[in-house]
Structure 1
Amino acid sequence: MGLLFGDVISLYREEVYLLAAICIVAIVFIVVLYKEITAIIFDRRIAESVGIRVKPVYYAMLFVIALTVALCLPIIGGLLLYVWLVAPAAIALQFCNRLSAMFVVAPVVAAIVSITGALVGLEYSLPVAPLTAVLFSVVFIAAVIISPKRRVTFRKI
């Protein structure tokens, strides 16, 4: 069960340092290659036509994601890792029209929901990883309901 749920409450100091190092590597990667990453995410062919070497950047992106998954899986568990990779971006997408805004909103949402999940879990003696996953689900459903993008759709109907 450790690989599914992990044990985020009883992390060793070395594991915290490893998670911080992974975070720093990902942030530096995004900051250094921001223009290339956004171009490739938008359209690989257009990125290639403007002179961006797509394959090295694309494979570097895959490497950073694979490194993150491989190193974080035994520490935080598969459930929380999957939720942290997908939910913040899905929530941010409900409110952001620009990729640059998503790069700011998603980590803020992840931090707020994760800290809330940890505090509530510790206060009420609940398992933190599943509780955080449930909180992310609730926030995502609420985001879909109150999203400005959805209101436009409902007005047209």
Structure 2
Amino acid sequence: MEWLTSPFEVGFVARALWGGLLVSAICGLAGTWVVLRGMAFMSDAMSHGMLPGVAVAALLGGNLLLGAALSALAMAFGITALSRSKRLSQDTGIGLLFVGMLAAGVIIVSRSQSFAVDLTGFLFGDVLSVQHADLVVLGCALAAAVLIAAACHRSFVALAFDRRKAATLGLRPGLAQGLMVGLLTLAIAASFHVVGTLLVFGLLIAPPAAMALWADRIPVIMAGAALLGGAATAGGLLASWHLGTAAGATIAALAVASFFASALAALVRDRLPLRPTVEPKGP
């Protein structure tokens, strides 16, 4: 069993594992609402729409996390503003901002001397370079995500299933929507500089979607998504160590593979005939 444990005895791999576990927990909390609300396209746009803020922060020598958060918030406000138009669907607004922000980010990054390296790091991250300071940031982000998810759970549930009923109950669906987007922004901004936008998006969507096929209760979906994401992280790091593949991409691939495995198993489950009930015999 040495091949199973020896990689995690190395310091940078152990830190990568802890970083991936924290990201999985954060994404499990936020990603569950993304799946239930059908916000996958929006979350993808926000994760890639952070590039202008990150690029400006990098060129000015500023804080990348702050730049990412401001850029993601700008995306969220822009999507909200465009979605109020009666002539444009929300998907149209998201698509326009997605392409515009991504193009602006690439233009800004192209002004630097390390264009290819910077853009690759933005997309795929470098999970093997996680430092103790990154773990502290992720730990704080997880604590904040737990507080938001717990405090707003009732409002989020009402918003996810019936917006009009949420308004009738006085749960302020507009505020709940803003806090949900804030939770999503927190998950993306806190995690991207460690694991890249593709891995964040993979852990944000795939594990909750896989669990949603098997669980009806939202807390169960969140917990299961965190466990699946953690398993994908550990398995991806292990495979990367022994096969020499890119760690971040391997983790993302395993996370997506877990969804397809879950979907296949659910399909088999749904096609199996129900076990007939045995009628009790009379005396």
Question: Normalising by structure 2, what TM-score?
Answer: 0.51
CA displacement at 1:154 relative to structure 2: 7.3
**Paired residue type of 2:144:** V
More off after superposition, 118-127 vs 4-13: 118-127
1:142 paired to 2:261: yes
- Residue in structure 2 matched with residue 81 of structure 1 by the alignment: 200
Instruction: Measure the CA separation in 2 of the matches of 1:67 and 1:100.
Output: 19
Fraction of identical pairs, as percent: 23
1:69 paired to 2:188: yes
Q: How does 1:100-111 map to 2 (within 5 A)?
A: 100-111=219-230
Q: How does 1:6-155 map to 2 (within 5 A)?
A: 6-147=125-266, 151-152=269-270
More off after superposition, 69-78 vs 85-94: 69-78
SS in 2 for 1:77: helix
CA displacement at 1:145 relative to structure 2: 0.7
- Number of residue-to-residue matches in the alignment: 154
Rg larger in 1 or in 2?
2
Q: Please give the per-residue CA displacement for 1:38-89, whole angstroms capped at 9, x wherever unaligned.
A: 1111111111111212111210111121132223222210110110111111
**Aligned-residue CA RMSD (Å):** 1.8
CA displacement at 1:150 relative to structure 2: 5.7
**Paired residue type of 1:3:** F
Structure 1 gaps, min length 5: none
Instruction: Measure the CA separation in 2 of the matches of 1:34 and 1:142.
Output: 29
Instruction: Measure the CA separation in 2 of the matches of 1:92 and 1:150.
Output: 16
Instruction: Measure the CA separation in 1 of the matches of 2:261 and 2:189.
Output: 31
Counterpart contact for 2:228–2:258, Cα < 8 Å: no
Instruction: Measure the CA separation in 2 of the matches of 1:113 and 1:124.
Output: 16
Counterpart contact for 2:124–2:196, Cα < 8 Å: yes
Instruction: Measure the CA separation in 2 of the matches of 1:24 and 1:14.
Output: 16
Superposed structure 1 runs of 4+ greater than 4 Å apart: none
Instruction: Measure the CA separation in 1 of the matches of 2:237 and 2:195.
Output: 13
Instruction: Measure the CA separation in 2 of the matches of 1:67 and 1:137.
Output: 22
Question: Normalising by structure 1, what TM-score?
Answer: 0.88
Counterpart contact for 2:145–2:186, Cα < 8 Å: no
CA displacement at 1:141 relative to structure 2: 1.2
Instruction: Measure the CA separation in 1 of the matches of 2:168 and 2:227.
Output: 34
SS in 1 for 2:255: helix
